[in-house]
Chains A and B, each alone.
Chain A
Amino acid sequence: MTAPPDDVLDLLTAYVLGALEPAEVSQVHQLLEQQPELQRTLTELRATAQRLPYALADHEPPADLRRRALEHAVGRSQPIRSVASSAMVRWRWLALTFGGIAAVAVVVVLVTLVQLVDTRVELSRTAADLAAARAVQQQVVAIATEAQVMARLSGGSGRGVVLSAPAGATLLIANLPPQQPDRVYQLWRIVGDEAPISAATFTVDAHGYGFVTIAGDQRPPPGATLAVTDEPAPGSPGPTTPILIVGQLNST
């Protein structure tokens, strides 16, 4: 197999290391669509990057971290700091408390003034959100009346449906939890044993509804698995978080 040119390898290496700017990430997604043979090189480079942490020096965690981590994980406690750091925090609180009392009085006055302004701003934001939600709903209804269901995606965090629209476009409509501004949902297509390939990224509105059009040349083949993960904007080279919803395209 001929090695990809250096400029392409520059992009792929930086891609798996998470060192690309958003526009460059999109460039890599396009390259992978146009030249599927690059997937092999990408898979090798990704496997290499994923081994880097094994070279790190071992640092023994505090003895009580296991108990704290597990109790926090199963919901029996809030995140607990180690005994030493808790003591330090208490001292900091004592030092800050006295200075804080004076500051609080000033803040209360300021907050009252700011709240009046905030209320107006909030009302306009809500109106904008409602208008956006209505526009999305109207588009969804228009599409759903004529579209054909190609796959249903489900999971503990939400659900989605992939539709084949009359104009030939493929649409994903999803209902997922709203995200922070620096996060996006990423749709992955998985064919057989191949590594997941990004098919699209999208966001949801304040009500959790979002949709994305999958371009014709990125349309997943019949039988492909589709999955959605929550990723840092503008998307990731490979999935970095658990699958939220997953489903399989109809085989026809």
Chain B
Amino acid sequence: MYTTSVNCRCARIEDQGARKPTDTAIVEIERMRDEDLLVLVAQRHESALGMIYDRYGRLIYSIALRITGDRQTAEEVVQDVFQSVWQTAGSYHPELGAASTWLLSITRHRAIDATRSKRERARTREYPLDQIRPVAEDTLVEREVERRVLRDEVRSALDTLPSNQRQAIELAYYGGLTRAEIADTLGEPLGTVKTRLRLGLLKLRDLLQAFGE
């Protein structure tokens, strides 16, 4: 049972003083799965929330910046996301998907909401995906390697898409636009936009599945 195994791990952390963790407890937290960290966050372990920030803070900030196009708004989105995690980690349910998916989904929706509420959509800046900045060393090498492999796979897959398909997908996913709005934005027929989204995402799916095999 999921909860039982997590509780066993948490008990070890508790023994060592979870709210003011010792070095041993910190190492233990570093090795935990994201889902286990959320259980600790629900029990008000700030160190677990800090570990989630260390793992995802940069990605969450990058998504927020990509969607809002504004550093200050992106920072506010990050703060909003972590407040939400702190307040609602107890209701996270592993059956609904991976913790990372949950975190990134919250981020995307919060960022789109923030952009809409500030009416800054028209000023959204493009951050080309090929602007790669070196990634700092992470304490858990395997985790970082895994993320880099995934990043490279997704980038390779996106690079194979015709630019108009990629553009349509990014306007939908990061811009929060409907198909009709994308058609208006690009000055293209609605049918063309539908086709681009379909062909683009299906090709991505096939490529990513092939990478995974």
> Could you tell me which A residues sit within 8 Å of B by CB distance?
6, 9-10, 13-14, 16-21, 44-45, 47-62, 65-66, 68-70, 72-74, 79-82, 85, 155-157, 188, 190, 193, 195-196, 225, 227, 232, 238-244, 246
Contacts and interface: CB of A to CB of B under 8 A. Distances in A.
A241 B78 contact: no
A66 to B, nearest CB: 5
A25 B197 CA distance: 16
Given A19-B179, A57-B128, A190 B95 contact: yes
Given A53-B63, A58-B133, A73-B85, A240 B105 contact: yes
Contacts of A70: 46, 49-50, 53, 82
B4 interface: no
A16 B79 contact: no
A18 B66 CA distance: 17
B169 A59 contact: no
Question: Interface residues of B: mostly helix, strand, loop or mixed?
Answer: helix
B53 A59 contact: no
Given A19-B172, A54-B154, A70-B46, A61 B201 contact: no
Question: In the complex, which of the residues B74, B79, B169, B179 has the most CB atoms of chain A within 10 Å of its own CB atom?
Answer: B79
Contact of B172 (A17, A195, A238): A17
Interface string B46-62: 10011001100111011
Nearest to A20: B178
Contacts of B84: 241-242
Given A20-B179, A81-B72, A59 B127 contact: yes
Given A72-B82, A82-B75, A45 B201 contact: yes
Interface in B85-111: 85-93, 95-97, 101-102, 104-109
Nearest to A193: B95
B129 interface: yes
B198 interface: yes
A155 B200 CA distance: 39
Which 6 pairs of residues, A with B, have the shortest CB-CB distance?
A242-B88, A19-B172, A61-B61, A17-B172, A55-B154, A73-B86
Q: Which of A9, A59, A68, A244 has the most CB of B within 10 A?
A: A59
Contact of A65 (B61, B87, B91): B61
Nearest to A245: B91
